[in-house]
A = this chain, B = another copy of it.
């Protein structure tokens, strides 16, 4: 979806940019599988660009700059729909991914489960026992 600047501005007015560096929290969710792909922050400009250009943009808390997700990897996240929360400090973006979201190559940044950690822990124990 791509909105006009007028519509995007109207929508931005609904938000409360109360988080670090005047941001909202943005949750990327796969429009088909409903899998949560990543969580990031958006300032007003990142939100407006996301809504008007149709590609997810974020505010990087570590680099202190605006970034288009996929600008180096080519793994753009195309926005198909969005939902705003009750107090306006978070957005869910329903996206179609052009390539994996995560810099590790995983489809989602949330690829580590309880089992992975337990197995990892057991591996550590094994290694410690052997050493």
Binding site for B on A (CB under 8 A): 1, 3, 7, 10-11, 14, 19-20, 25, 27, 29, 33-36, 38-39, 81-87, 90, 92, 102-104, 106, 108-114, 117-118, 121
Contact = CB atoms under 8 A, between A and B. Distances in A.
A110 B92 CA distance: 7
A10 B90 contact: no
A84 B82 CA distance: 23
Contacts of A110: 83-85, 90, 92
Given A39-B27, A117-B10, A104 B86 contact: yes
A73 to B, nearest CB: 14
Main secondary structure on chain A at its contact with chain B? mixed
A25 to B, nearest CB: 5
B83 A36 contact: yes
Nearest to A7: B118
B117 A82 contact: no
A22 to B, nearest CB: 13
B114 A86 contact: no
A30 to B, nearest CB: 9
Contacts of A84: 110, 112-113, 117
